[in-house]
Amino acid sequence: MRVAGSVAKSRPFAWAVTLLERLDREGPDLVRILTYHRVEWNDAIPPPYPRITIPPDLFAEQMRYVRDHFHVVSVEEMIHAVRAQRSLPPRSVLISFDDGYRDFRTQAWPVLRALKLPVVLFVPTAFPGDPSRIFWWDRLHHALLNASARDSLETPVGVLPLRSVQERERAFTQLRDHVKQMPHDTALSWVGTTCHELAVPPPPPAVLSWDELRALVQEGVSVASHTRTHPLLTRIPAEEVRAEAAGSRRDLERELRTELPVLAYPGGAFNDAVARIIADEGYVLAFTTTRGVNDLRSAHPLKLRRINVGRQTSLALLRAQLMGRAVSLNRFYPVPA
């Protein structure tokens, strides 16, 4: 991963991307959907989970490039295009943020507002206004990094060394992947027990409040559903999937007077059964985490691909993924059935 990240940031890679861009051809009805989670400095207190965080200067550079070279559409424009079966402008890009972290308001939105770029923010609606709700990955990451001196931790994936920051980050990655395979309630229980064993108080709540979200809506941010409690929808019963989908829209309508028929699957987890429930609940668009560019002539509107942007995503790597020819790479990233 580190080698790939270094290559993506190298000058020869940027030159190669520039050459490919000159040869690129834009097909009809292509739309790219960028996914961000956090925009924050690495030395922020408490430290953000680095895998889903990019620094503000890189984010600003990427947004200037997107503004200058693409047509940035709003989620409302995309809903209309799908409902009316109309094309979007050539070189269309939609910018999306997942999870509703507070640094969206302090770091990302000022950049987007200054550049006059529309954005959709996906919020798990049980979190605003409830300080007891903290994402499990933030709790686990915070606990592992701040636990008192200890050599190791016994876990279901083996005894994991914790002698250095690097070992603790590796332990988190292994445990994160394990937790994602558990049933939702079991996963939350295990994380709670493990954090208690590590004897580290939880980090402060990081999700925007309803008042902050109302202010953002007034300033032009589109806010849509990320379910209520952010479960992996393939790890809960069908009736809970329905309650998560319907309840989040009710929360948004009650608190923000907005009810966009758009949902981002938490963790990108979905299958055909989940998609059918989402359709039954009146959603028009649903966003996955499957990488790729969407061809609206053939893409399923409830299984839309996105391009995740993380700390290893240099501007050159982002440019490469935004090219029209990148749609041909979709076959290497199949959408789950």
**What local confidence, expressed as pLDDT, does residue 49 receive?**
84
- Closest of 147, 145, 203 to residue 173, by C-alpha: 145
Distance in angstroms (rounded) separating the CA atoms of residues 20 and 36 = 25
**What local confidence, expressed as pLDDT, does residue 198 receive?**
94
pLDDT tens, position by position, 62-103: 999 999 999 999 999 999 999 999 999 999 999 999 999 999
CA 77 to chain centre: 20
**What local confidence, expressed as pLDDT, does residue 4 receive?**
58
Show the tokens assigned to 82.
């799908």
Cα-trace Rg, the chain: 20
- Residue 218 makes CB contacts below 8 A (sequence gap 6+) with none
> Which amino acid makes up residue 166?
Q
pLDDT tens, position by position, 106-152: 999 999 999 999 999 999 999 998 999 999 999 999 999 999 988 99
CA 93 to chain centre: 16
> Which amino acid makes up residue 261?
P
Fold adopted by 2-129+209-332: TIM Barrel (3.20.20)
**What local confidence, expressed as pLDDT, does residue 6 receive?**
67
**What local confidence, expressed as pLDDT, does residue 3 receive?**
47
Q: Would you give the DSSP letter of residue 267?
A: G
**What local confidence, expressed as pLDDT, does residue 129 receive?**
86
3-class secondary-structure state, position 237: coil
Strands 92-98 and 71-73: parallel
**What local confidence, expressed as pLDDT, does residue 187 receive?**
95
Record the pTM: 0.94
Q: Would you give the DSSP letter of residue 73?
A: E
- Which residues of the chain fall below pLDDT 70? 1-7
Domain positions in the chain:
2-129+209-332, 136-198
Half-sphere exposure of 286 (CA within 13 A, CB side): 27
Distance in angstroms (rounded) separating the CA atoms of residues 337 and 328 = 20
Give the distance between the most distant pair of CA atoms in the chain: 60
Provide the strand spans (E) within 79-233.
Answer: 92-98, 120-123, 152-155, 158-161, 222-225
CA 232 vs CA 222, 226, 265: distances in Å: 23, 11, 8
Distance in angstroms (rounded) separating the CA atoms of residues 54 and 110 = 15
**What local confidence, expressed as pLDDT, does residue 5 receive?**
62
Distance in angstroms (rounded) separating the CA atoms of residues 35 and 93 = 11
